[in-house]
C-alpha cells in the first residue's frame, strides 16, 4: 500500500492501533487495512526491585503509555504529513499475571507485583492441591491468597483485581473486562464455558470464608471476553489519557485486553490446535495449543488459553536474555574504552554469530541466567552464575554459546514434559522476540534445543503490539461465524514469507550434554540463591 493510500486511511480512521506494555519497552503499532505496520512508537522502561518486590510505579505506566503514543503520533505526522486523530479500533496488551489490587475509589492498595516475583510459593502450593490444577506463583490468585496468608490488611479493602492490560483498558473505556487469554493467568478457566472455573471459584470462597472479607472472588475479577467480543469504546477521558494534546478523538471500539502470551499467538498465527510459538526476550515462554487435557498436574506447565479460549499448555521461565544483555554491556564498555564505536545491532550480531563458532557442548562451560527466581527449577532468588572447570575450553564462542543455551535451559525442562511424557503433537513452532533477531542463530539454537523445526516469519519482529492490533482489526472486521484462526489464515498471513530451520543432530546432542550439566549443578545455583546476599 502506498503512502497516499495509508494517509487516506489515517485521515478516515481506517487504521488499527495496538499497544503492548512489555518488560523493557512499551510499543505502539499502527496498521493499515491490509494489516501491515504503517507506523510505530516506543518508550523504554525497566522494572524496579523495591522492598523485595519487582514492580513498576503506576505513574510511569501512565507516563510511559503517553510517551509511547506521542512517539507514534509524531512518527505518523512525520511520515504521512497528517495528524493521528482517529483509529478504527484499538487494543492494549501487557505482561501477564501479577497483582494489581484497587479499592472502591480506584486507589492502588499495594505496589504492582509483577510476574517476575517469586514470593507466593506457599499460596501456589496450597491452591494447586485444593484445585487439582497447577497454580503458578505468577498468577493473580496466588498473589491474592499469599496476601491472605500473610495477613495483609489491604485484602479486606479490595474492590477490583486485574492485570496490567486490564488496568489500562479500564482507564481507556471504564469497563472492567479482560481477554480470556490474560484472564487465564489470573484464575483457572473452564474452556467449555469460556469463563472462570465455577467450582474453583466456590472452593476459593470457602477457603477464605473464616476471614469474613466483604467480597466474593467472582466480584473482584474482571469479566472474561473472547476475541471479537464487545469490549467497549474509547471514552473522552480515555482519549485524553492516551493523548493529552486532545487530538485523538474518542469513540473507537476496543478489543478485549490481552496478555503478551495471547498477542504472541496472534502475531505468529499460532492459535489453532497443534500449533505453537515461543517468545524469547526478557522472559521466555512457549505455548502449545492442545488437542486434549493433560493427564495430570505438572508444576512446570501452566494451562492457559488462546484469545479465542482454546486450551494451551504454557511453559514459562522468568529468565532469558537479561544476562546476555548484561554481558553484552561489558563488551560494549570495553569497545568504548578502546575507542571502537559499535551499534547494538552490530554488537549483538557479532556475539550471536560468534556463538555458532563454539563447540556443540559449549566446551564444558555452564551458566545460569537467573536475574530473578526461577519457579521451574525451584530457585527462589536470582543469582546469575557462570562456571567453568579447569579443563573447560574457555573461548569467546563457547562463552556466548553457553549463555544462549542457558537462556533456554528452564524452558527445555518443561518442554520435555510435553513432548516426552504427554506426547503432545506439534505441527509447527514459531519463534519471535529479541532472541531471534540475529538471522538463523537463535532459531538454530532453539531448534537444536527443542528438537523440532522452528520457523520465523518476516513479520516476527513486529511482536505483541502488532498482535494486539490484529485482534483489534478482528474485533471490527470479522464476519459472523468467522473464527480467529480463519481470519488470521485468510486475511493476515496468506502469502507471508518466513524461514524454517531443522534441528542439527550434532547441535541437539551438544545441547543435551549441556542440559545434563545444567540439571546436575542446580543444587549449586540454589545454594547461591540462599547464601549470596
Specify whether 392 is located in the same domain as 514.
yes
Domain boundary among 259, 281, 306: 259
Residue 311 φ/ψ, nearest 5 degrees: -70, 135
Specify whether 73 is located in the same domain as 146.
yes
Cell numbers that stand for 401 in this block: 554459546
Average pLDDT over residues 340-347: 93
pLDDT at 407: 98
DSSP-assigned beta bridge partners for residue 29: 18, 40
Place 461 in a pLDDT band, splitting at 50, 70 and 90. low
Average pLDDT over residues 384-410: 98
Specify whether 187 is located in the same domain as 59.
yes
Place 380 in a pLDDT band, splitting at 50, 70 and 90. confident
Q: What is the DSSP string of 436-500?
A: G-STTHHHHHHHHHHTS-EEEETTGGGHHHHHHHHHHHHHHHPPTT--HHHHIIIIISTT--EEE
Q: Does the pLDDT at position 460 exceed 80?
A: no
Q: Does the pLDDT at position 27 exceed 80?
A: yes
Over the chain, what is the mean pLDDT? 95
Q: Does the pLDDT at position 458 exceed 80?
A: no
Range of the domain at 163: 3-78+89-259
pLDDT digits (tens, 9 = 90+) for 54-66: 999 999 999 999 9
Specify whether 488 is located in the same domain as 436.
yes
Domain boundary among 259, 276, 304: 259
Specify whether 170 is located in the same domain as 65.
yes
Percent of the chain with pLDDT over 90: 89
Place 497 in a pLDDT band, splitting at 50, 70 and 90. confident
Number of structural domains found in the chain? 3
Residue 423 φ/ψ, nearest 5 degrees: 55, 45
Specify whether 272 is located in the same domain as 337.
no
pLDDT at 528: 95
pLDDT at 141: 98
Place 425 in a pLDDT band, splitting at 50, 70 and 90. confident
Cell numbers that stand for 347 in this block: 554488537
Q: Determine, yes or no, domain membership for 518.
A: yes
pLDDT at 459: 65
- Pairing of the two strands 311-317 and 302-305: antiparallel
pLDDT at 161: 98
pLDDT at 433: 81
Q: Do the beta carbons of residue 79 and residue 32 sit within 8 Å?
A: no
Specify whether 365 is located in the same domain as 472.
no
pLDDT at 297: 94
Q: Determine, yes or no, domain membership for 100.
A: yes
Residue 317 φ/ψ, nearest 5 degrees: -115, 140
Specify whether 255 is located in the same domain as 372.
no
Q: Does the pLDDT at position 220 exceed 80?
A: yes
Specify whether 185 is located in the same domain as 327.
no
Specify whether 298 is located in the same domain as 438.
yes
Q: Determine, yes or no, domain membership for 65.
A: yes
Q: Determine, yes or no, domain membership for 83.
A: no
Nearest C-alpha neighbor of 43 from the set 56, 29, 24: 24
Residues 298, 378: Cα–Cα separation, whole Å: 13
Q: What's the residue count for the chain?
A: 533
Q: Determine, yes or no, domain membership for 455.
A: yes
pLDDT digits (tens, 9 = 90+) for 65-119: 999 999 999 999 999 999 999 999 999 999 999 999 999 999 999 999 999 898 9
Place 411 in a pLDDT band, splitting at 50, 70 and 90. very high
Domain boundary among 223, 242, 259: 259
CATH number of the domain at 10, please.
Answer: 3.30.420.40
Q: Does the pLDDT at position 215 exceed 80?
A: yes
Q: Does the pLDDT at position 427 exceed 90?
A: no
Specify whether 330 is located in the same domain as 288.
no
Place 281 in a pLDDT band, splitting at 50, 70 and 90. confident
pLDDT digits (tens, 9 = 90+) for 289-334: 999 999 999 989 999 999 999 999 999 899 999 999 999 999 999 9
Average pLDDT over residues 7-26: 96
Residues 13, 209: Cα–Cα separation, whole Å: 50
pLDDT digits (tens, 9 = 90+) for 115-131: 989 899 999 999 999 99
pLDDT at 496: 79
Residue 316 φ/ψ, nearest 5 degrees: -120, 120
Distance of CA 497 to the CA centre of its chain: 24
Specify whether 331 is located in the same domain as 363.
yes
Amino acid at each position: 500500500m502506498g503512502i497516499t493510500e495509508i494517509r487516506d486511511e489515517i485521515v478516515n480512521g481506517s487504521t488499527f492501533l495496538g499497544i503492548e506494555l512489555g518488560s523493557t519497552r512499551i510499543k505502539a503499532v499502527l496498521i493499515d487495512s491490509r494489516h501491515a505496520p504503517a507506523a510505530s512508537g516506543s518508550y523504554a522502561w525497566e522494572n524496579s526491585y523495591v522492598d523485595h518486590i519487582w514492580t513498576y510505579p503506576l505513574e510511569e505506566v501512565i507516563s510511559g503509555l503517553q510517551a509511547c503514543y506521542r512517539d507514534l503520533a509524531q512518527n505518523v505526522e512525520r511520515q504521512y504529513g497528517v495528524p493521528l486523530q482517529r483509529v478504527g479500533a484499538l487494543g492494549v496488551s501487557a505482561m501477564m499475571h501479577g497483582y494489581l489490587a484497587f479499592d472502591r475509589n480506584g486507589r492502588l492498595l499495594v505496589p504492582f507485583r509483577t510476574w517476575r516475583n517469586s514470593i507466593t510459593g506457599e499460596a501456589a502450593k496450597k491452591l494447586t492441591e485444593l484445585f487439582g490444577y497447577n497454580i503458578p506463583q505468577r498468577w493473580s490468585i496466588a498473589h491474592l491468597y499469599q496476601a491472605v496468608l500473610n495477613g495483609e490488611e489491604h485484602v479486606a479493602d479490595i474492590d477490583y483485581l486485574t492485570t496490567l492490560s486490564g488496568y489500562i483498558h479500564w482507564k481507556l473505556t471504564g469497563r472492567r473486562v479482560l481477554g480470556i487469554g490474560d484472564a487465564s493467568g489470573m484464575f483457572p478457566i473452564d474452556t467449555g464455558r469460556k469463563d472462570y472455573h465455577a467450582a474453583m471459584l466456590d472452593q476459593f470462597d470457602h477457603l477464605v470464608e473464616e476471614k469474613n472479607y466483604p467480597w466474593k472472588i467472582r466480584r473482584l475479577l474482571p469479566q472474561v471476553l473472547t476475541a471479537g467480543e464487545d469490549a467497549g469504546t474509547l471514552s473522552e477521558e480515555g482519549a485524553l489519557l492516551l493523548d493529552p494534546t486532545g487530538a485523538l478523538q474518542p469513540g473507537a471500539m476496543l478489543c478485549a485486553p490481552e496478555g503478551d502470551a495471547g498477542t504472541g499467538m496472534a502475531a505468529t498465527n499460532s492459535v489453532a490446535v497443534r500449533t505453537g510459538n515461543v517468545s524469547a526476550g526478557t522472559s521466555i515462554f512457549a505455548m502449545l495449543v492442545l488437542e486434549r487435557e493433560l493427564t495430570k498436574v505438572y508444576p512446570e506447565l501452566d494451562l492457559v488459553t488462546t484469545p479465542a479460549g482454546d486450551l494451551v499448555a504454557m511453559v514459562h521461565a522468568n529468565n532469558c536474555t537479561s544476562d546476555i544483555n548484561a554481558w553484552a554491556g561489558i563488551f560494549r564498555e570495553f569497545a568504548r574504552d578502546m575507542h571502537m564505536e559499535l551499534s547494538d545491532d552490530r554488537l549483538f550480531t557479532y556475539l550471536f554469530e560468534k556463538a555458532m563458532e563454539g563447540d556443540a557442548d559449549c566446551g564444558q562451560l555452564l551458566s545460569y541466567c537467573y536475574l530473578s527466581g526461577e519457579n521451574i527449577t525451584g530457585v527462589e532468588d536470582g543469582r546469575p552464575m557462570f562456571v567453568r572447570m579447569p579443563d573447560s575450553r574457555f573461548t569467546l564462542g563457547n562463552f556466548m554459546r553457553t549463555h544462549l543455551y542457558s537462556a533456554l535451559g528452564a524452558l527445555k525442562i518443561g518442554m520435555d514434559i510435553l513432548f516426552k511424557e504427554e506426547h503432545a503433537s506439534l505441527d509447527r513452532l514459531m519463534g519471535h522476540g529479541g532472541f531471534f533477531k540475529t538471522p538463523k542463530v537463535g532459531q538454530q539454537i532453539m531448534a537444536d534445543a527443542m528438537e523440532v523445526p522452528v520457523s520465523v516469519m518476516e513479520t516476527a519482529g513486529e511482536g505483541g503490539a502488532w498482535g494486539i492490533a490484529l485482534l483489534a482489526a478482528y474485533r471490527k472486521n470479522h464476519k459472523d461465524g468467522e473464527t480467529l484462526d480463519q481470519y488470521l489464515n485468510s486475511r493476515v498471513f496468506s502469502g507471508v514469507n518466513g524461514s524454517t530451520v531443522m534441528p542439527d543432530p550434532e547441535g541437539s546432542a551438544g545441547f543435551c550434554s549441556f542440559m545434563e550439566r545444567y540439571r546436575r549443578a542446580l543444587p549449586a545455583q540454589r545454594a547461591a540463591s540462599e547464601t549470596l546476599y
